[in-house]
């Protein structure tokens, strides 16, 4: 497969980005200041992220809600125009094909999909569709996330009205002489926006943000930010073998759909809801400085293997190592003492509250 | 202290008598990024040439640090364990990793001079 680049590749290069290949794209892992400074800038001021590698999938047509509700367990009929929800595509066993953000637009829906999953996602969604449904993956617009406590104040200077958006709400706004679509959302645990801007205007937007002292942020800090915020990353906390109940994402399904079902894997999910699931996603705080990364085995205090770490790093804002992983449900209570195996040695840790870092969103 | 010698795995060695001080190079820290965890070998541990001796972790990943020469560890640098970020600020100075009693001086012959190492890095940037 040929490695792809986003429209902003050269712009990143000029900003001093170091690149890695991620989900088939050559993406900035960090810029000259490095991951820790980028992370702190986002938490204390604001940072921008090029997330144009993600799929911007538009879908519409008669009774499109019925088709999508078979594969997405969100109450789409009850979703108002310009409202967004975090959800997933589910397989027959209730396993997660991808996690996503879905927004009701004037016509149909826009779904933001993970870069590495988007081709398969479209195949899976297509199975639910008929000839009356239309869809396309938009490549005319770049997707920029602006995250951090100063985001609203800064973006308001260039895009009038955005600061009045509530969390998980979107709208069309004017930028220079074109329209842009902005949602108040993100994946860092900070207030912020995701902005769909025409490729031809994307650099101009970034230049304005840089003028306002917003820093460019790479995938490295994106990972430490989302991990501190206790958010799942597909391929790590989520995959086709894990269902949303195990992933502790029951809240994302919504009461109506949980009770009425009618989506892929509902039987399995219902069973998990009624009887509890065998394993659960938890937050993990190691006792010392040791960093337990993906794949580290988790043991009980009496040395029974009880799970595995799915993500782990050092959290620059909480200033301690943090991790997430799956443990047998009987060990999932907050405060439970566990051990993590790192380089052949077992280290003390405990099950901890997620998120590790908490910030209030604009509501 | 003698002039530093360098390994292809980006460690440096400084020799004084039969004692060698070992650390990682500036180039290594630039490749690693922000260092957030360091593990150094215990005093008394016997390390082999090119054998794993210490661990350094950035926010991105964990990497092994190898000993460029064989010997017995006589001292380790606890201050870099307490403050891993100090390795980024002064990797070839105060932030050395460990000291060993040299077992075999001839192993030093396999290492590069500063000039050769800089050339090696320029030819192998990653």
Share of chain A above pLDDT 90, in %: 97
CA B84 to chain A, closest CA, distance in angstroms equals 10
Residue B104 has pLDDT above 60, yes or no: yes
Q: Please tell me the predicted confidence (pLDDT) of residue A100.
A: 98
Q: Please tell me the predicted confidence (pLDDT) of residue B125.
A: 79
End-of-domain residue from the set A170, A203, A228: A228
End-of-domain residue from the set A228, A258, A291: A228
CA A127 to chain B, closest CA, distance in angstroms equals 38
**Does one domain contain both A177 and A305?**
no
> Is residue A335 in a domain?
yes
Share of chain B above pLDDT 90, in %: 92
Residue A360 has pLDDT above 80, yes or no: no
DSSP per-residue string spanning A101-168:
EEEE-SSSEEEEE-TTTHHHHHHHHHTT--TT-EEEE--SEEEEEEESTTHHHHHHHHSTTGGGPPTT
Q: A250: which strand partners?
A: none
CATH of the domain at A192: 3.30.1360.120
Q: pLDDT band for position A93 (50/70/90)?
A: very high
Q: Please tell me the predicted confidence (pLDDT) of residue B106.
A: 95
Q: Please tell me the predicted confidence (pLDDT) of residue A95.
A: 98
Q: pLDDT band for position B2 (50/70/90)?
A: low
Structure confidence by residue, pLDDT tens digits, A191-239: 999 999 999 999 999 999 999 999 999 999 999 999 999 999 999 999 9
> Is residue A94 in a domain?
no
> Is residue A255 in a domain?
no
CATH of the domain at A323: 2.40.30.110
A35 closest CB neighbour out of B33, B37, B81: B33
Helix axes A151-158, A199-211, angle to 10 degrees: 120
Query: Does the beta-carbon distance from A30 to B81 stay under 8 Å?
Result: no
Q: pLDDT band for position A358 (50/70/90)?
A: confident
Q: pLDDT band for position A54 (50/70/90)?
A: very high
In chain A, which residues have their Cβ closer than 8 Å to the Cβ of B32? none
Which residue in chain B has the smallest CA separation from A218? B60
Q: Please tell me the predicted confidence (pLDDT) of residue A2.
A: 82
Q: Is beta strand A18-22 parallel, antiparallel or unpaired with respect to A320-328?
A: unpaired
Q: B12: which strand partners?
A: B6, B23
**Correct CATH for B5-116 of 2.40.50.100, 3.10.20.30, 2.40.50.140, 3.40.50.10440:** 2.40.50.100
Q: A283: which strand partners?
A: A324, A352
Which residue in chain A has the smallest CA separation from B63? A343
In chain B, which residues have their Cβ closer than 8 Å to the Cβ of A313? 36, 59-60
> Is residue A198 in a domain?
yes
In chain A, which residues have their Cβ closer than 8 Å to the Cβ of B86? none
> Is residue A216 in a domain?
yes
List, edge to edge, every strand of the sheet that includes A84-90.
A84-90, A96-104, A109-113, A55-60, A134-137
Phi, psi angles (nearest 5°) of residue B73: -70, 125
Domain count, chain A: 2
Structure confidence by residue, pLDDT tens digits, A97-145: 999 999 999 999 999 999 999 999 999 999 999 999 999 999 999 999 9
Q: Please tell me the predicted confidence (pLDDT) of residue B103.
A: 96
Residue A1 has pLDDT above 70, yes or no: no
Q: Please tell me the predicted confidence (pLDDT) of residue A254.
A: 85
Q: Please tell me the predicted confidence (pLDDT) of residue A309.
A: 98
> Is residue A312 in a domain?
yes
CA distance B37 to A157: 41
CA distance B64 to B5: 19
In chain A, which residues have their Cβ closer than 8 Å to the Cβ of B61? 293
Q: Please tell me the predicted confidence (pLDDT) of residue B1.
A: 57
Q: pLDDT band for position A276 (50/70/90)?
A: very high
In chain B, which residues have their Cβ closer than 8 Å to the Cβ of A293? 61-62
Listed in sequence order, the DSSP H helices in chain B are 26-32, 78-82, 86-89, 114-123
CA distance B14 to B2: 6
B59 closest CB neighbour out of A289, A290, A313: A313
* pTM for this predicted structure: 0.94
In chain B, which residues have their Cβ closer than 8 Å to the Cβ of A36? 34, 36, 59, 85
Lowest mean pLDDT among A59-68, A152-161, A254-263: A254-263
Is B55 in CB contact (< 8 Å) with chain A?
yes
Which residue segment(s) compose the domain that A289 sits in?
Answer: 278-352
Residue A92 has pLDDT above 90, yes or no: yes
**Does one domain contain both A31 and A151?**
yes
Structure confidence by residue, pLDDT tens digits, A340-349: 999 999 999 9
> Is residue A75 in a domain?
no
Query: Does the beta-carbon distance from B36 to A293 stay under 8 Å?
Result: no
B33 closest CB neighbour out of A30, A223, A321: A30
């Amino acid at each position: 497969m040929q490695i792809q680049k986003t429209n902003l590749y050269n712009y990143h290069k000029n900003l001093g980005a170091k690149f890695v290949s991620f989900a088939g794209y050559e993406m900035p892992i960090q810029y000259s200041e490095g991951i820790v400074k980028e992370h702190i800038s986002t938490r204390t001021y604001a940072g921008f992220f090029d997330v144009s590698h993600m799929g911007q999938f538009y879908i519409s047509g008669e009774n499109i809600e019925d088709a999508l509700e078979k594969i997405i367990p969100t109450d789409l009929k009850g979703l108002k125009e310009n409202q967004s929800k975090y959800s997933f595509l589910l397989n027959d066993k209730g396993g997660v094909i991808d996690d996503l953000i879905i927004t009701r637009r004037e016509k149909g829906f826009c779904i933001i999909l993970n870069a590495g999953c988007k081709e398969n996602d479209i195949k899976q969604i297509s199975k639910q569709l008929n000839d009356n449904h239309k869809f396309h993956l938009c490549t005319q617009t770049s997707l920029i996330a602006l995250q951090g406590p100063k985001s609203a104040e800064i973006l308001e200077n260039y895009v009038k009205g955005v600061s009045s958006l509530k969390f998980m709400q979107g709208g069309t706004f004017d930028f220079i002489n074109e329209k842009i679509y902005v949602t108040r959302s993100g994946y860092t645990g900070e207030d912020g926006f995701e902005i769909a801007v025409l490729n031809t205007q994307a650099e101009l937007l970034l230049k304005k943000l840089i003028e306002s002292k917003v820093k460019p942020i790479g995938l490295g800090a994106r990972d430490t930010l989302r991990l501190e915020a206790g958010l799942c990353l597909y391929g790590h906390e989520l995959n086709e073998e894990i269902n949303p109940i195990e992933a502790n994402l029951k809240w994302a399904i919504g009461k109506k759909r949980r009770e009425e079902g009618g989506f892929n894997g509902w039987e399995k999910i219902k069973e998990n809801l009624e009887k509890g699931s065998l394993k659960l996603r938890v937050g993990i705080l190691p006792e010392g400085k040791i960093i337990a990364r993906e794949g580290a085995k988790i043991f009980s205090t009496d040395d029974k293997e009880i799970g595995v770490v799915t993500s782990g790093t050092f959290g620059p804002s909480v200033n301690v190592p943090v991790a997430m992983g799956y443990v047998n449900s009987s060990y999932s209570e907050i405060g439970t003492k566990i051990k993590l195996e790192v380089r052949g040695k077992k280290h003390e840790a405990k099950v901890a509250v997620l998120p590790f870092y908490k910030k209030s969103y604009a509501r | 202290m003698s002039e530093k010698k360098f390994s292809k795995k980006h460690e440096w060695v400084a020799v004084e008598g039969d004692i060698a001080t070992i650390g990682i190079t500036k180039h290594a820290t630039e490749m690693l990024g922000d260092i957030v965890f360091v593990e150094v070998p215990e005093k008394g541990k016997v390390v082999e040439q090119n054998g794993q001796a210490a661990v350094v972790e950035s926010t991105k990943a964990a990497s092994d640090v190898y000993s460029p020469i064989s010997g017995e560890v006589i001292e380790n640098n606890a201050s870099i364990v307490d403050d891993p970020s100090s390795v980024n600020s002064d990797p070839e100075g105060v932030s050395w990793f460990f000291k060993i009693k040299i077992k075999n001086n001839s192993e030093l012959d396999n290492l590069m001079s500063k000039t050769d190492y800089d050339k090696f890095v320029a030819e192998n940037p990653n």
